[in-house]
Amino acid sequence: MANAVSAKSAQEFVPIQEIREGVAILKDGALRMILMASSLNFALKSADEQEAIILQYQNFLNSLDFTVQFFIQSRKLNINPYLDTLREAEKNQVNELLKIQTREYIEFIKNFVEASNIVTKAFYAVVPYQPPVFTSAKEAAGTIMGIFKKKDESPVGLSDEKFEEYKTQLFQRVDTVAQGLTRSGVRVAPLNTEELIELYYSLFNPGELEKGKAPEVG
């Protein structure tokens, strides 16, 4: 019984209602798209290049009429898949000397990564869209009636029509952010549904992906 209560509490803590077509739909109806951004070695740029980048980034921020969140995710490097590949190569190796060298290399890589505590960093830009509260008298009545819903009732998801309408608005914002960052020398790419699920899973379950655990996408 305690486990059921705990599971329900954890589910309620996650603000995401669903992830559809690379778009995260929150429980309050808001939409989010996340762009993965490349890094930029600012220190290696010349003084003129640095000044140009700062100016472009400043112009980009000043041009926005909506909020954008930037965040960095640090994750301990997981080399288990690479080690598994090496172990398979060792198993299939017929040359005994190469098999020994492969085994020693596996131990070297494993010990080096554990001792060095190598961390990978990923950079993201979160682009939001908050739909209007209501656009018609019917929607206004529905919103007011929603106040009297029981707390244990599940929120109603977006209709396909509304989702496409809001997604178009969101995509326009994504294009604005992508163009602004590209002018600043930063390459970006939107995360798809599977990538979003893995990202949110790692955020709400820190350490799980480092152990080789990942969510199943069905």
Tell me the C-alpha distance between 148 and 69, whole Å. 33
Cα torsion 70, 76, 80, 85: sign = positive
Q: What is the mean pLDDT of residues 72-78?
A: 81
Token code pair at residue 46: 């010349």
Residue 4 has pLDDT above 70, yes or no: no
Q: Considering only 18-27, 81-90, 94-103, 150-159, which range has the smallest mean pLDDT?
A: 150-159
* CB-based contacts of 153, cutoff 8 Å, min separation 6: none
Q: What is the pLDDT of residues 174-190, one digit of tens each?
A: 999 999 999 999 999 99
pLDDT of residue 28: 87
For the four alpha carbons of 107, 109, 111 and 114, in that order, the dihedral sign comes to negative
Q: Residue 207: its pLDDT value, please?
A: 63
- Give the H/E segment covering residue 145: helix 137-146
> Tens digits of per-residue pLDDT, 86-133?
999 988 888 889 989 999 999 998 888 877 777 788 999 999 999 887
pLDDT band at 14 (very low <50, low <70, confident <90, very high): confident
Is the pLDDT assigned to residue 51 strictly greater than 90?
yes
Q: Are 69 and 126 contacting, i.e. CB atoms less than 8 angstroms apart?
A: yes
